[in-house]
Copies of this chain bind each other. A is one copy, B any other.
Amino acid sequence: MAAAPVWSVDPRTGNPREQVAVEATAGEVDRAVRAAHAVRGSLADRTVRAAFLRTAADLLAEAGEHVIEAADAETALGPVRLTGELARTAAQLRAFAEVVDEGAYLDIHIDHEDGKQTPPWPDLRRYKIPLGVVAVYAASNFPLAFSVPGGDTASALAAGCPVVIKAHPGHPATSELCASVLRRAAVRNGLPEDVVNLVHGFQAGVELVRHPLVAAAGFTGSIRGGRALFDAAAARPTPIPFHGELGSLNPVVVTEAAAAERGEQIGAGLAGSMTMGAGQFCTKPGFVLVPAGGTGDELLKSLTDVVSDSQSAVMLDQRMRDAFVAGVRERSELPDVTAPVTPGAGSEHTVAPGFLTVPAQRLTEDGPHDALLEECFGPVTVVARYETEDEITAVLSRLPGNLTATLQTATEETDESAARLLAALTPLAGRVLVNGWPTGVAVAPAQHHGGPYPATTSTSTSVGATAIERWLRPVTYQTTPDALLPPELQESNPQGLPRRVDGHRE
């Protein structure tokens, strides 16, 4: 049987651009994993890893024009957005180099022998070591920042784990380009190129998570696909951590006072956030609670105006476009649902942004309207009009987990409901915003990009410095002579690392 071809497709026309690769067979996945596993020791040196990540950032920036051209041709995200995404991806690689250099992520604890404890303590020294080969599943909607050179890859390499990346079928040419950049960066730093491997094909992704030498996985994508891989990871003879970012509704609550204070501004801000990138962000505000009265009407007028002026957009691929068109149609046909700006099909290859409204009361108990509480990928949001604060909390209590939850409150400190609503939003999400919009995820140490299931399948983040924690496990050395200890744990601290010794930071 001939190997299945992998085509790069132009979403603006639906036409194939070129054949990029073939789908990996089970044997090829096995070889890729074994190759990565065989070279894992080469990543042991922190200095080399940091240099590798910085070289990767440099080479990615150098290849920028080519990479952006390929990515735009395959995803239609446009050069402006992709230029920003490339800069962010390079910055992310450099940020992880800094994390490696600093070494706080090693979480070193040293407790000297102490006979006065109950029971007595022997000399104990703990740090974190890499888990092994990490499987990375690239996302459709970020061909760079959450794909081959993205956060999962960067954090895994930073941790000292080689990667086998499963390319997303939406941008195979970009994936090949980026993988070659990373492999060149490895070689420039004296590392074997097999610290980074790329495979294509749906079945290859399934083989990958089941491979005995794969030690952990990172995923960004749909609930259905992510859950299937999560289940496969959990069902292995030796289960592995599966860090999946699956889906998020990203609820927003607009208080009465906020709508009264700046309804027009909130409407325009919401329009910008929900249509950005054709609504294809995992942090798109997909559900907004707005007061039912006149102040809410002002907000909706502004939302209507700006969304009406938004252009039709090409989505990442035809399948997503069709799913969007079907999804908004199904939702808009529900009783009491109106579409002040009708979302749906644009031209043959585009979609038109829009939004739906529904009385919040419709969403306070189980029923067909629950479809409005499920993510619809693309440029649409659902505005639920509430009568009372009790209605807000009743609806919030029925939401699944989210990456973000947002409160729009009065900027004057006279909004008595704000504290109560923030307390109701916090259990729903990994990031809580006040008077901001959730799209745009800063790559910062204090960032948390994750949240209760299905936002993520674990309590981890896929963005920010602590994303490295996903690929490590602690190990403690007991009564081990200095000469046999790894340098990180030796008494003299030869690498000058931040450590906690007998309860004190040094």
Q: Which residues of A contact B (CB under 8 A)?
A: 84, 87-88, 90-91, 109-111, 114, 117-122, 124-126, 129, 131, 230-231, 234-235, 238-239, 241, 400-401, 409, 413, 418-419, 422, 426, 429-436, 440, 442-448, 450, 452-454, 457-459, 461, 466, 472-481, 483-484, 500, 503, 505
Contacts and interface: CB of A to CB of B under 8 A. Distances in A.
A165 B84 CA distance: 51
25 contacts: A91-B118, A109-B446, A111-B447, A117-B443, A117-B444, A119-B443, A121-B444, A122-B436, A124-B442, A126-B446, A230-B234, A238-B401, A238-B452, A241-B458, A409-B484, A413-B481, A430-B474, A430-B476, A431-B475, A432-B478, A433-B479, A433-B480, A434-B478, A448-B475, A452-B473
Contacts of A503: 445
A210 to B, nearest CB: 15
Contacts of A84: 119
A478 B436 contact: yes
A246 B119 CA distance: 23
Given A91-B117, A503-B445, A434 B241 contact: no
A453 B500 contact: no
B430 A478 contact: no
Given A413-B481, A418-B484, A448-B474, 14 more contacts: A84-B119, A110-B446, A119-B443, A120-B442, A124-B447, A125-B446, A129-B426, A230-B234, A238-B400, A238-B401, A422-B480, A433-B480, A436-B479, A466-B474
Given A426-B129, A432-B476, A453 B238 contact: yes
Contacts of A131: 459
A479 B435 contact: yes
Contacts of A114: 444
A434 B483 contact: no
Nearest to A456: B473
B475 A445 contact: no
A209 B17 CA distance: 50
A458 B240 CA distance: 8
A17 to B, nearest CB: 29
A10 to B, nearest CB: 28
A447 B476 contact: yes
Contacts of A109: 445-446, 466
B432 A450 contact: no
Contacts of A457: 239
A113 to B, nearest CB: 10
Nearest to A453: B238
A484 B230 contact: no
A321 B310 CA distance: 74
Nearest to A87: B118
A402 to B, nearest CB: 11
* Residue from A114, A445, A474 whose CB has the most chain B CB atoms within 10 Å: A474
A459 B473 contact: yes
